[in-house]
Chain A
Amino acid sequence: MARIGPQEVLELASLARLQLTTEEVARMTDDLAAILDYVDALRTLDTTDVEPMTHAVPFDCPLRVDRVAPSLSAEEALANAPRRTESFFEVPRIVPVAGAPEDDT
């Protein structure tokens, strides 16, 4: 039974913000189907009344003191940016300029 098809793989890739080639979609469809078949074994396990375990050790979300401490300077934080303008990370235009054609950078 094909439990996942190429269309669903493309939808997932869109959710995950991953561009996949045609070959990758085909391979991914097969791989995910095989892995999903394998993890189906869990369905036979009775987990009624079992509390989900989200963390390996008891964890009470400790709060730190809210005190100003040194952190990275803007220059250090920007040092790895592939594109920057002044003290900003640069990304393609999100909001179109009124009356202007779509920016294509």
Chain B
Amino acid sequence: MIDVRGLTALAVADGVRVGKWRARDVVEPYLDRIAQLDGALGCYLRVDADGARRQADAVDAACKGGRDPGPLAGIPLGIKDIFCTRGVETTCASKILRGFVPPYESTVTARLGAAGAVALGKLNMDEFAMGSSTENSAFQPTRNPWSPAHVPGGSSGGSAAAVAASLCAGATGTDTGGSIRQPAALCGVVGVKPTYGRVSRYGVIAFASSLDHPGPFGRTVEDAAALLEVMSGLDPLDATSIPQPVGGYRQAARSGREGLAGVRLGVPQEYFQPGMDPEVETAVRAAIDELARAGAQIVPVSLPHTKYAIATYYLICTAEASSNLARYDGVRYGHRAEQVRSLEELYTHTRGEGFGAEPKRRIMLGAYVLRAGYYEAYYGKALRARRKIADDFSAAFAACDAIVTPTSPVPAFKFGERTADPLAMYLADVYTVAPDLAGIPALSQPCGLTRAGLPIGLQTIGPALGEEICFRVAGAFEARTDWHTRLPPEPAL
């Protein structure tokens, strides 16, 4: 049996494509690992073993028949439970969608499948992607593989933890305020949020439509690049999808091995503020020194409106969420309240019973900021602040090619540590929300471990459609360090 612990996605695809392994022989050990270890971690909400075997057999049949099995042949992926998967229950980790079996497939999962990837199952998350610890899942906690007392981050916490623990070779996620990069940082894996519109949102359950960015998780920079290349591209089913050609992300990641001569990297002082963990600061500054040794020129830049980013983000995302979540009414799918006396009661009881505390809080805040008389003071003001934040990046990119920062000001925190105070949880996203507001690409990769053994993430931010420079910088760092090869301890059974 193949030992899949620490295996990279591209090692799987290479092995399957050259006939060294059958896809089925790779999928089975992952299914075994999930069966043995996921009880301790809680990454998966459901495993689709039959579906995974069917997809793997189709890849093997293609190979046997002399057909190209695709660039991602046989790669076992975990799918965040926000992606609609035809015939496989999709809940967004919410009771209000329990039992929902989508009649159609998201563009992202359809493209990954067409490229030969195998979907193992659906991964846990914060309910409706609202949260930074996966504690808001209506169904189960997910534990950080590096320390079971700590959260994996969120909202894509199941995705990050599953990749870290080798319960899949790669995963999908979505990032609205940091929900790919922050859990990637806290679990010691690579996570990428591309340019807005680069990856289709079709079939991705909507949270805040102008901010939702689907993207990949990988064990290495090139793994994430390979997944993003397949996920990206114009989709007629998403009106906000962009037509520009998809870049050569894998090639960019590999080119980083040749060094960073001629690359200017901006370091914003606003991302090194009091309140950040000293071990995080030390590791990230050491990473920036390593990038300088790789040939990059380090330049100070300023993003002066950073301090407004969290407030701006929460006004916009709650406004959009209150609108998007209006569709959950108990009529067409999901939970429906019983014993109601009117249509009005059907709505209010269904939603009161079905939504957890955080979606309720955001729906209410969104309703507040969109109210007649308040709209301009809150939502309108936030839309203007959003432009100032985006303009900061445009100005900075006149002086540098990419920006490097910590991904999160702190390593993984303990369960319950931030749940009592929603604002404390919101501030976990302080270094990740601004690229979402600006719609520009950003990547997190492991760059250290704390003395307690918790991962630390380095964030590289690029200009719009600058995924390639992010992959090149990250590839350079990865080629010169071994943080990406560190594995968490095996879960205690």
User: Which A residues have a C-beta under 8 Å from some C-beta of B?
Assistant: 4, 9, 12-21, 24, 27-28, 31-32, 34-36, 38-39, 41-43, 45, 47, 50-57, 59, 61-62, 64, 72, 76-77, 79-83, 89, 91-92, 94, 102, 104
Pick the contact of A72 from B103, B195, B240, B378 — CB < 8 Å?
B103
With contact pairs A12-B364, A76-B103 given, residues A45 and B331 touching in the complex (Cβ less than 8 Å)? no
10 contacts between A and B (CB under 8 A): A12-B368, A15-B371, A17-B326, A17-B344, A18-B363, A20-B360, A35-B423, A38-B310, A52-B384, A82-B336
With contact pairs A9-B364, A64-B236 given, residues A55 and B311 touching in the complex (Cβ less than 8 Å)? no
B352 in the interface (beta carbon within 8 A)? yes
Chain B residues with Cβ under 8 A from A41's Cβ? 307-308, 311
Are A79's CB and B343's CB within 8 A? Answer: no
User: Which B residues have a C-beta under 8 Å from some C-beta of A?
Assistant: 99-101, 103-104, 195-197, 210-211, 236, 239-240, 242, 305, 307-308, 310-312, 314-315, 322, 326, 329-336, 340-349, 351-353, 355, 357, 360-361, 363-368, 371, 378, 380-388, 390, 421-423, 426, 437-440, 464
The 5 closest A-B pairs by CB, nearest first: A56-B439, A19-B352, A52-B383, A47-B384, A82-B336
Chain B residues with Cβ under 8 A from A54's Cβ? 210, 383
What is the distance, in angstroms, from A60's C-beta to the closest C-beta of chain B?
10
Are B364's CB and A53's CB within 8 A? Answer: no
Are A17's CB and B329's CB within 8 A? Answer: yes
Are B341's CB and A104's CB within 8 A? Answer: yes
With contact pairs A47-B384, A91-B343 given, residues A53 and B314 touching in the complex (Cβ less than 8 Å)? no
Q: Which of A19, A38, A41, A89 has the most CB of B within 10 A?
A: A19
Are A18's CB and B197's CB within 8 A? Answer: no
Pick the contact of A47 from B352, B368, B385, B421 — CB < 8 Å?
B385
Q: Cα distance A4–B310 when bound, in Å?
A: 21
- The majority secondary structure among interface residues of chain B is helix
Q: Cα distance A83–B322 when bound, in Å?
A: 25
Q: Cα distance A10–B314 when bound, in Å?
A: 21
Q: Cα distance A41–B310 when bound, in Å?
A: 10
Are B367's CB and A16's CB within 8 A? Answer: yes
Q: Cα distance A105–B428 when bound, in Å?
A: 45
Chain A residues with Cβ under 8 A from B387's Cβ? 50-53
Q: Cα distance A43–B380 when bound, in Å?
A: 12
Pick the contact of A82 from B312, B315, B334, B348 — CB < 8 Å?
B334
Q: Cα distance A85–B211 when bound, in Å?
A: 38
Q: Cα distance A34–B340 when bound, in Å?
A: 34
Are A79's CB and B384's CB within 8 A? Answer: no
Chain B residues with Cβ under 8 A from A102's Cβ? 341
Are B363's CB and A45's CB within 8 A? Answer: no
Chain A residues with Cβ under 8 A from B336's Cβ? 82-83
What is the distance, in angstroms, from B366's C-beta to the closest C-beta of chain A?
8
Of all chain B residues, which has the CB nearest A18?
Answer: B351
What is the distance, in angstroms, from A45's C-beta to the closest C-beta of chain B?
6
Are A42's CB and B196's CB within 8 A? Answer: no
With contact pairs A28-B364, A42-B381 given, residues A89 and B332 touching in the complex (Cβ less than 8 Å)? yes
Are A79's CB and B346's CB within 8 A? Answer: no
Are A32's CB and B364's CB within 8 A? Answer: yes
With contact pairs A18-B363, A52-B384, A56-B197 given, residues A91 and B331 touching in the complex (Cβ less than 8 Å)? yes
Pick the contact of B368 from A19, A32, A52 — CB < 8 Å?
A32
Of all chain A residues, which has the CB nearest B355?
Answer: A18
Pick the contact of B384 from A4, A15, A34, A51 — CB < 8 Å?
A51
Pick the contact of A80 from B100, B329, B349, B426 — CB < 8 Å?
B100
Are A53's CB and B386's CB within 8 A? Answer: yes
With contact pairs A42-B311, A57-B464 given, residues A13 and B104 touching in the complex (Cβ less than 8 Å)? no
What is the distance, in angstroms, from A37's C-beta to the closest C-beta of chain B?
9
Chain A residues with Cβ under 8 A from B99's Cβ? 80
Are A62's CB and B239's CB within 8 A? Answer: yes
Are B365's CB and A35's CB within 8 A? Answer: yes
Of all chain A residues, which has the CB nearest B370?
Answer: A15
Are A42's CB and B314's CB within 8 A? Answer: no
Of all chain A residues, which has the CB nearest B347?
Answer: A17
Q: Cα distance A20–B259 when bound, in Å?
A: 57
Chain A residues with Cβ under 8 A from B329's Cβ? 17
Q: Which of A34, A39, A102 has the most CB of B within 10 A?
A: A39
What is the distance, in angstroms, from A49's C-beta to the closest C-beta of chain B?
9
Of all chain B residues, which has the CB nearest A102?
Answer: B341
Chain B residues with Cβ under 8 A from A45's Cβ? 305, 308, 381, 385, 388
Are B364's CB and A56's CB within 8 A? Answer: no
Q: Cα distance A24–B240 when bound, in Å?
A: 37
Chain B residues with Cβ under 8 A from A42's Cβ? 308, 311-312, 315, 381-382, 385
Q: Cα distance A38–B334 when bound, in Å?
A: 34
Chain A residues with Cβ under 8 A from B383's Cβ? 52-54
Q: Cα distance A67–B484 when bound, in Å?
A: 49
With contact pairs A9-B364, A16-B367, A92-B346 given, residues A57 and B242 touching in the complex (Cβ less than 8 Å)? yes
What is the distance, in angstroms, from B441's C-beta to the closest C-beta of chain A?
11
Are A80's CB and B333's CB within 8 A? Answer: yes
Of all chain B residues, which has the CB nearest A20?
Answer: B352
Pick the contact of B195 from A27, A57, A76 — CB < 8 Å?
A57
Are A52's CB and B380's CB within 8 A? Answer: yes
Given contacts A32-B368, A35-B423, 11 further A-B contacts (CB under 8 A): A12-B367, A18-B352, A19-B348, A34-B422, A39-B311, A39-B382, A41-B311, A53-B387, A80-B100, A80-B101, A92-B343
